Amino acid sequence: MKKTILLPAIAFILLLLGCSKEINDVNYTETQNPGTTFETVIKKVDSFRSKMNSHLKSSEKTLIDSVVWNLEALITFDLGHPDSTSGDFKLITTEYTVEVDEDSMVTTADVQLVYNKLLDSIDYYLGLFTSDVRFVVFTDVRLIGIDGTTGFLSAKTGYGINTYHTYTPFEESDDWTLGRNTFFRSPSWQM
């Protein structure tokens, strides 16, 4: 009888000890704080925007992979509306070349040329759509490859065209909270 009571009691104690919750105290630092990460990304995008909008010719060099990330982040940040819905969606791919040195570095002046060509392409395609409602949803920039001293980039841009009947787009005269981002150049089709 003692064995029948003793065995379930031991099993119950082992079960409780085996299922005990492990508590880890985590000390969050600034690098783990999501707000700080967001602020860091915004600072990088703002810094790249300043370089792209500078009228000074710069020989500063940046790694081609960073150029790709910065172009995609800046254009999507300034022009993109990934949270907007549209009646139609068009995906258009454009290609660009940029001079690259032997260390896969690109000068800021060459990046500015690609950036302006990319903006011109976006303006051009937005101007082709006849709808009153047309906008950039996102831009995905990729490095296709490097051949000698030439880097080949592609940019896939998603365009939203038309609206569903339940959506009324913002007008210039609407007083909405975020306002218009004045750091980027207005597309020519809006002028």
Q: Where are the domains of the chain?
A: 38-169
CA gyration radius, the chain: 26
Q: How far apart are CA 187 and CA 119, in angstroms?
A: 8
Strand-pairing partners, residue 4, are: none
Please tell me the distance from the alpha carbon of residue 112 to that of residue 106, in angstroms, as a whole number: 10
Beta bridge partners of 88: 161
Instruction: Please list the residues that pair with 137 across neighbouring strands.
Output: none
Which neighbouring-strand residues pair with 157? Answer: 92, 139
Higher pLDDT, 6 or 153: 153
In the chain, the amino acid numbered 186 is S
Kindly give, in sequence order, each residue whose CB lies less than 8 Å from that of residue 11, ignoring residues fewer than 6 positions away.
none
What's the mean pLDDT in 20-37? 53
Give the per-residue pLDDT at 28.
Answer: 43
Whether CATH 1.20.58 fits 38-169: no
Geometric angle at alpha carbon 88, from 186 and 153, rounded to 5°: 55
State pLDDT tens for residues 43-73.
Answer: 888 888 888 888 777 778 999 999 999 999 9
Q: How far is CA 56 from CA 37, 60, 109, 178, 191, in A?
A: 30, 11, 9, 30, 26
Amino acid letter for position 33:
N
* Whole-number percent of the chain with pLDDT over 90: 38
The token duo for 162 is: 């038309």
Q: For residue range 129-188, what is the model confidence (pLDDT) as tens digits?
A: 988 888 999 999 999 999 999 999 999 999 988 866 555 556 666 655 544 444 444 455
**Model confidence at 78: pLDDT above 80:** yes
pTM: 0.66
User: Which contacts (CB < 8 Å, 24+ apart) does range 185-191 have?
Assistant: 185/53, 185/119, 187/79, 187/119, 187/122, 187/123, 187/126, 187/127, 188/123, 188/127, 189/123, 189/126, 189/127, 189/134
